[in-house]
Structure 1
Amino acid sequence: MTSDAVRDLQQLLASMEPALDPEPYAFTTGPALPDCPAVVSVVEAEGVTAVVARANAERLGLAHEYVAARITLTVHSALEAVGLTAAVARALADAGISCNVVAGYFHDHLFVPWERREGAIAALEALTAPESPWPGSRSRGRGTQAAGGGGGVGAPAGGATRG
């Protein structure tokens, strides 16, 4: 299979174009997948985590504590690219915004607190600006480039993800 996936961190950051999904999502858990579409599912020893539209979770009476906005980085990031998740996580952490990253074959999907979605978009858009000092800029107090990745499968509850 031929892939046009981007591997270069600078190109990934410059072209990631974060897109905010207007639908709120709920992280649910149980012994099996719920009877509705899940945008993410992870099987763990304790049960199945499913990220579903909040409306579906409420309609089905699924318990959930975390309601998130889904932001898709529309650049086709290579699964083996290094640094994208680290750069995104740092930008959001600097803004005080938690993030759960899930990698698909084509795109990375970020789940941030619903009430912080606009701030997350602003932080990500600042990261894409040509004058952004990431990665490794001394002007932001980062003397070395952070390690990380641009692809891979991760647990939506903060488990292993692309770098």
Structure 2
Amino acid sequence: MPEIATTAAEMISGMTPVLQPGTFVFITTQDPARVAALFAHAVSTVREAEGMSMLIPVESAQETGLNVDHPMRCITLNVFSSLQGVGLTAAVSSALGENGIPCNMVAGFHHDHVFLPADMCDRAMRILTALQNTAAENMKATGD
């Protein structure tokens, strides 16, 4: 396994954002049969008091007649960040928010994933790449 980034500077300077293929939508349902039918397609699930929230490919939502009004793309941050690291999510969401781009962060064991409106993904990639480059330059300048 690669070295785990633990500091904000390490995580941000090494995040290497990559736009993933596919388009996704968030849905929610209280229908156990629908959950079972979509579970194999889900990128992520969260059980909430209101029902099961699922992040699924837009095609799966269309096939089952679900709302696809808010298509999302996924940018994976390819740094191996510590589960106890502090600062990556804040830096990414702040940089995007300052540029009017909403984002939904989904953390996995190995990587963080940024889901954002499909029509904003190219601009988001430029912003995140610039954020990474600035952090890497700062680390180099300070000798970290």
TM over 0.5: yes
- Which amino acid in 1 is paired with 2:37? D
Give the TM-score of the pair, scaled to structure 2.
0.84
Task: Tell me the equivalent position of 1:125.
Answer: 129
Instruction: Find the residue that maps to 1:7 and give its secondary structure.
Output: coil
The count of corresponding residues between Structure 1 and Structure 2 is 133
Q: 2:93 aligns with which of 89, 95, 114?
A: 89
Give the TM-score of the pair, scaled to structure 1.
0.75
In structure 2, relative to structure 1, the CA distance for the partners of 1:39 and 1:71 (3 Å cut) is: same
Give structure 1 stretches of 5+ with no counterpart: 135-163
CA RMSD of aligned residues (A): 2.0
Task: Tell me the equivalent position of 2:7.
Answer: 8
Task: Tell me the equivalent position of 1:55.
Answer: 59
Conserved 8 A contact 2:13-2:136: no
* 2: CA distance, partners of 1:26 / 1:73: 19
Q: 1:74 aligns with which of 62, 78, 93?
A: 78
Task: Tell me the equivalent position of 2:18.
Answer: 19
1:57 Cα deviation after fit? 0.8
Greater RCO between the two (CA within 8 Å, min separation 6)? 2
* 2: CA distance, partners of 1:46 / 1:74: 32
Bigger share in helix: 2
Conserved 8 A contact 1:76-1:107: yes
Task: Tell me the equivalent position of 2:50.
Answer: 46
